[in-house]
């Protein structure tokens, strides 16, 4: 009686050799770029492996390794760099990094913040929100604290009263809040 050759165990459900190869390539590209940038090896564990797989599924096997290397080499967003380019942020913003990689356009952090500051106009009516603003307005009005007996809140109130006639028609925070309703 001839014996049958032993059967190979069936691959686990969801086992895809091509996907595994793509994940290995992504990890290799990510780790090389990471080690070059930080002079240390990135941590690899089960959660990182799961994120790798999800990343490959989101951006496609053919480009995932290039995007992962681009992410570590070129992305200089302060939060990402301060966090040492974690795999979780790569996964979280996979499509954005794909677009940046395709266009070759990773924004410079300085221009990012300059753009954000330009988008948010600061109302002139908030000069009293900071000590420097109160002191600046007081100098503009020719006011000075009245010796050691006048504390800063009292001085602020006096500067506000003096500035009130100038501010007629200038939107206050309260008026701005009512206007938004």
Q: What is the pLDDT of residue 14?
A: 64
68 occurs within a structural domain:
yes
Shared domain check, 103 and 148: no
CA 111 to CA 105: how far, in whole Å? 12
Instruction: Using the predicted structure, report yes or no on whether residue 173 has a pLDDT greater than 70.
Output: no
0.75 cut: is pTM over it? Answer: no
What is the distance of C-alpha 52 from the center of its chain? 20
Shared domain check, 129 and 99: no
Shared domain check, 100 and 29: yes
CA 49 to CA 71: how far, in whole Å? 17
Most confident of 44-58, 98-112, 165-179: 44-58
Q: What is the pLDDT of residue 132?
A: 77
12 occurs within a structural domain:
no
Residue with tokens 């089960």: 46
Cβ-Cβ contacts under 8 Å for 87 (sequence gap 6 or more): 30, 42, 48, 51, 52, 55
Cβ atoms 17, 63 nearer than 8 A = no
Shared domain check, 143 and 96: no
Mean local confidence (pLDDT), 47-73: 96
7 occurs within a structural domain:
no
Shared domain check, 60 and 25: yes
DSSP 8-state assignment for residue 129 = G
118 occurs within a structural domain:
no
> Tell me: the pLDDT tens digits for 109-166?
666 565 555 555 545 555 556 777 778 888 888 888 777 777 878 888 888 888 876 6
Shared domain check, 100 and 28: yes
4 occurs within a structural domain:
no
149 occurs within a structural domain:
yes
83-111 core/surface letters (b: 16 or more CB in 10 A; e: else): eebebebbbebbeebbebbeeeebeeeee
Mean local confidence (pLDDT), 80-98: 94
- Residue 179's φ and ψ, nearest 5 degrees, are -65, -30
Candidates 68, 41, 47, 44; CA nearest to 56 is 68
> Tell me: the pLDDT tens digits for 14-45?
678 999 999 999 999 999 999 999 999 999 99
11 occurs within a structural domain:
no
User: What range does the domain containing 173 cover?
Assistant: 124-180
- Domains identified in the chain, total number: 2
């Amino acid at each position: 009686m001839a014996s049958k050759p032993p059967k190979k165990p069936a691959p686990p459900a969801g086992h895809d050799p091509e996907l595994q190869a793509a994940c290995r390539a992504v990890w290799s590209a990510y780790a090389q770029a990471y080690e070059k940038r930080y002079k240390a090896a990135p941590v690899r564990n089960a959660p990182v492996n799961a994120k790798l797989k999800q990343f490959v599924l989101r951006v496609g096997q053919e480009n995932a390794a290039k995007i992962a290397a681009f992410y570590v080499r070129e992305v200089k967003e302060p939060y990402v760099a301060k966090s040492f380019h974690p795999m979780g942020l790569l996964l979280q913003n996979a499509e954005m990094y794909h677009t940046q990689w395709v266009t070759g356009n990773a924004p410079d952090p300085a221009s990012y913040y300059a753009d954000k500051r330009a988008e948010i106009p600061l109302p002139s009516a908030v000069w009293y929100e900071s000590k420097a603003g109160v002191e600046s307005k007081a100098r503009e009005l020719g006011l000075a604290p009245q010796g050691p007996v006048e504390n800063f809140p009292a001085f602020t109130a006096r500067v506000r009263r003096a500035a009130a006639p100038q501010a007629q028609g200038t939107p206050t925070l309260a008026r701005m809040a009512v206007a938004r309703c």
